[in-house]
């Protein structure tokens, strides 16, 4: 039996100080090479789950394993080689150029007082090219549009050369053209063998790119499995507690509500 | 920039009110023994202090701005400077005015000011972390200012009050080699730590979870940078009094000219801060027959510059 890339084993978690439970005995496995979308209502614990996968939050009970090894056995820098995060919205208080910002993604490969060198700049230029921002190279990141900025965040994460990319609502705030651009990029990354784990509020985004789907409800996994089996009217309706219909257009599933 | 600093520094050695106002000519300097003693014993330590002062405040300002992710903070905003002034005044009145005592008390209370601001910010129930920290800093600074007011009230007006007033206005006229020697180790080590961490500061300006995902220990590394910034500030305030605005303005100019990446902006801010402090001190000791406290000049120029900046360019401050 192959080892899961990422495994949540009976995870419970609550935020201090009152420790209100966000996740309750949650178990989930992410296989290498998959694109997994997490759907669920606000407050279901989606972002918390990503932060646990990152090691930024530690579960109160249970264990997160990366490639079969408990997360706590990895050093921070090692984790930075494996997992990268594209946060939902990144506050960037200073006017870094795109390259300066993307180079920050090389930090896990540098000793604490080292600075990025020629090889890091080469990788930086390569990922900027890959996300399609080369033409904006000298621009300050604070002057970019929402869609371009999201691409820059992804480029910074790709500079980490991660095996697992976590994306927290990557398409929120994006217009249709930018959304399509981003989904194409994510498909390319998946084709190159990067495992993707994303949260989203849009069932159609999940249907467009995910191979696997996780439906969360009340801090637990309600349904999980290959997309065609989970993306059903019954399951989506139960997840959001509204009536959802599922139809197909040109082979792609779409969720409709009434 | 470094060349310019060296040039201005050398020139400043020859600027003053001896033998006449303004410039001391090199020939005169070569022949006049009094001029040589004056330059060596008075102007040189004073100028070195000015350079260290400008560098420390600028570097500390930039470090605080970056680790708090807020371009509008400076050492004076977190109770550090006011804490140091209170400590100095406290020491002058109750403990004695020996240099090491006053400086020690200033450093101690500077850290106390920071610790108070920090713990108050943790307990505050309003706004995001940066806003809470800035508000807490304002409150703690006000408390220490009030404390200084009380100390001034009970101080001996002939002996102690002038000394305390010196702290509040800032000035470099009493600097001796002994003082330079007493603060140089702390200041140089702190500056070196900040300089070496400069690329890291970019990482610390990101959100905690993102910084963590890049292999950074946000809490520990922020604490290290903060300690270096406060140590340098407190040490300098302990010999030069409260000198405002350098820590806010210099990082802004440095970022505008050299880009936001602290790899370039931090060294640039240090050099520009050193330069600015030397020039301000030159003006402080030559413009009038008496000495103008340098803190007045930096505040005047800094505040005017800040107003100009507010009107010409939107300063990015989120949260």
Which residues in B lie closer than 8 A to residue A54 (C-beta atoms)? 209, 212-213
A163 close to A108: Cβ distance less than 8 angstroms: no
> Which CATH number belongs to the domain containing residue A246 in this structure?
3.40.50.300
Structural domain harbouring A37 = 6-90+162-257
A129 part of a folded domain: no
C-alpha A7/C-alpha A29 separation (Å) is 4
Nearest CA in chain B to A99: B261
A65 part of a folded domain: yes
Quick: pLDDT tens for A177-218: 889 999 999 999 999 999 999 999 999 999 999 999 999 998
Nearest to B206 among A76, A90, A100 (CB): A90
Q: Which residues of chain A have pLDDT under 50?
A: none
A100 part of a folded domain: no
Contact across the interface for B260 and A94, Cβ inside 8 Å:
yes
Tokens of A4: 């899961």
Confidence of residue B317 (pLDDT cuts 50, 70, 90): very low
In the β-sheet with A20-30, what is the strand arrangement from edge to edge?
Answer: A20-30, A6-15, A61-66, A69-70
Confidence of residue B319 (pLDDT cuts 50, 70, 90): very low
Provide the β-strand partners of residue A39: A200, A215
Q: Does A100 touch chain B (CB under 8 A)?
A: yes
Nearest to B263 among A80, A84, A115 (CB): A115
Q: Does A92 touch chain B (CB under 8 A)?
A: yes
Nearest CA in chain A to B261: A96
Contact across the interface for B206 and A85, Cβ inside 8 Å:
no
Q: Is the ipTM of this complex over 0.85?
A: yes
Nearest to A76 among B202, B209, B217 (CB): B217
CA angle B216–B220–B222, rounded 5-degree value: 85
Evaluate if residue B43 carries a pLDDT over 90.
no
Q: How many domains does chain A have?
A: 1
Mean pLDDT of chain B: 85
B267 close to B192: Cβ distance less than 8 angstroms: no
* B121-151 per-residue burial string, b: 16 or more CB within 10 A, e: under 16: beeeeeeeebebbbbbbebbbebbeebbeeb
Q: What pLDDT is stored for residue B127 in this prediction?
A: 67
Contact across the interface for A77 and B215, Cβ inside 8 Å:
yes
* B221-240 per-residue burial string, b: 16 or more CB within 10 A, e: under 16: bbebbbebbbbbbbbbbbbb
DSSP track, A160-208: T--SEEEEESTTTT--HHHHHHHHHHHHHHHHTT-EEEEEES-HHHHHH
CA angle B104–B105–B111, rounded 5-degree value: 95
DSSP state for residue A45 in the 8-state scheme: S
Confidence of residue B22 (pLDDT cuts 50, 70, 90): low
A166 part of a folded domain: yes
Please enumerate residues of B whose Cβ is less than 8 A from a Cβ of A. Answer: 66, 69-71, 196-197, 199-200, 202-203, 205-210, 212-217, 255, 259-261, 263, 316-319
A window 221-240, beta carbon within 8 A of B:
none
A193 part of a folded domain: yes
Which residues in B lie closer than 8 A to residue A116 (C-beta atoms)? 199
A62 part of a folded domain: yes
Enumerate domains of chain B plus CATH numbers.
48-312 (1.10.3470.10)
Nearest CA in chain A to B213: A80
Quick: pLDDT tens for A26-45: 999 999 999 999 999 988 89
A104 part of a folded domain: no
Mean pLDDT of chain A: 92
Residues of chain A with pLDDT > 90: what percent?
A: 78
Which residues in A lie closer than 8 A to residue B224 (C-beta atoms)? none
A45 part of a folded domain: yes
Quick: pLDDT tens for B279-316: 999 888 888 877 888 888 998 998 898 888 778 765 54
Contact across the interface for B196 and A54, Cβ inside 8 Å:
no
Q: What pLDDT is stored for residue B82 in this prediction?
A: 86
Contact across the interface for B207 and A97, Cβ inside 8 Å:
no
Which of B279, B77, B85, B51 is closest to B166 using CA atoms? B85
By DSSP bridging, strand A35-39 and strand A195-200 are parallel
Tokens of A122: 């080469």
**Can you give B72-141 as a three-state secondary structure string?**
CCCHHHHCHHHHHHHHHHHHHHHHCCCHHHHHHHHHHHHHHHHHHHHHHHHHCCCCCHHHHHHHHHHHHH
């Amino acid at each position: 039996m192959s080892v899961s890339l990422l495994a949540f084993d009976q995870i419970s978690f609550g935020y201090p100080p009152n420790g209100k439970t966000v996740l309750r005995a949650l178990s989930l496995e992410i296989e290498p090479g998959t694109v997994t979308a997490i759907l669920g209502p606000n407050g279901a614990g989606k972002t918390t789950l990503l932060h646990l996968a990152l090691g930024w939050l530690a579960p109160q009970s249970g264990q997160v394993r990366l490639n079969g090894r408990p997360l706590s056995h990895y050093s921070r820098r090692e984790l930075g080689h494996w997992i990268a995060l594209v946060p939902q919205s990144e506050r960037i208080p200073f006017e870094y150029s795109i390259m300066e910002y993307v180079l920050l993604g090389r930090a896990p490969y540098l000793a604490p007082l080292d600075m990025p060198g020629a090889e890091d700049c080469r990788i930086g230029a390569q990922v900027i090219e890959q996300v399609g921002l080369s033409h904006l190279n000298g621009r300050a990141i604070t002057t970019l549009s929402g869609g371009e900025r999201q691409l820059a965040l992804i480029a910074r994460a790709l500079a980490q050369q991660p095996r697992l990319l976590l994306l927290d609502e990557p398409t929120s705030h994006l217009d249709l053209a930018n959304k399509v651009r981003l989904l194409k990029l994510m498909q390319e990354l998946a084709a190159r063998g990067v495992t993707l784990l994303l949260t989203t509020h849009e069932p159609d985004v999940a249907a467009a790119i995910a191979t696997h789907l996780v439906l969360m409800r009340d801090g637990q996994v309600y349904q999980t499995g290959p997309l065609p089996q989970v993306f059903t009217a019954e399951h989506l309706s139960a997840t959001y507690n509204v009536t959802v219909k599922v139809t197909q257009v040109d082979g792609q599933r779409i969720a409709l509500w009434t | 920039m470094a060349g310019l600093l060296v040039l201005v520094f050398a020139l400043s050695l020859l600027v003053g009110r001896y033998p006449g106002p303004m410039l001391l000519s090199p020939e005169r300097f070569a022949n006049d023994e009094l001029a040589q003693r004056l330059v060596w014993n008075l102007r040189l330590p004073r100028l070195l202090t000015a350079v260290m002062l400008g560098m420390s405040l600028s570097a500390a300002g930039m470090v605080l701005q970056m680790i708090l992710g807020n371009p509008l903070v400076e050492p004076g905003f977190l109770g550090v400077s006011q804490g140091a002034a209170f400590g100095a005044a406290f020491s002058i009145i109750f403990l004695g005015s020996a240099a090491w005592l006053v400086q020690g008390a200033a450093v101690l209370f500077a850290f106390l000011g920071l610790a108070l601001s920090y713990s108050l910010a943790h307990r505050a129930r309003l706004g995001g972390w940066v806003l809470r920290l800035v508000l807490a800093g304002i409150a703690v600074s006000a408390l220490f200012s009030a404390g200084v007011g009380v100390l001034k009230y009970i101080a001996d007006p002939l002996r102690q009050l002038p000394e305390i007033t010196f702290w509040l206005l800032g000035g470099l006229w009493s600097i001796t080699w002994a003082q330079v020697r007493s603060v140089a180790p702390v200041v140089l080590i702190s500056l070196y730590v900040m300089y070496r961490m400069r690329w890291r500061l970019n990482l610390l300006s990101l959100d905690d979870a993102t910084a963590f995902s890049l292999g950074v220990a946000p809490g520990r590394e922020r604490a290290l940078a903060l300690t270096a910034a406060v140590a340098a500030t407190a040490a300098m305030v302990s010999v030069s009094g409260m000198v405002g605005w350098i820590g806010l303005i210099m990082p802004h100019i440095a970022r505008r000219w050299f880009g936001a990446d602290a790899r370039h902006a931090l060294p640039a801010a240090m050099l520009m801060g050193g330069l600015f402090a030397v020039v301000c001190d030159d003006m402080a000791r030559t413009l009038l027959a008496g000495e103008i406290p340098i803190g007045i000049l930096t505040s005047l120029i800094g505040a005017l510059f800040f107003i100009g900046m507010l009107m010409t360019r939107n300063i990015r401050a989120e949260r």
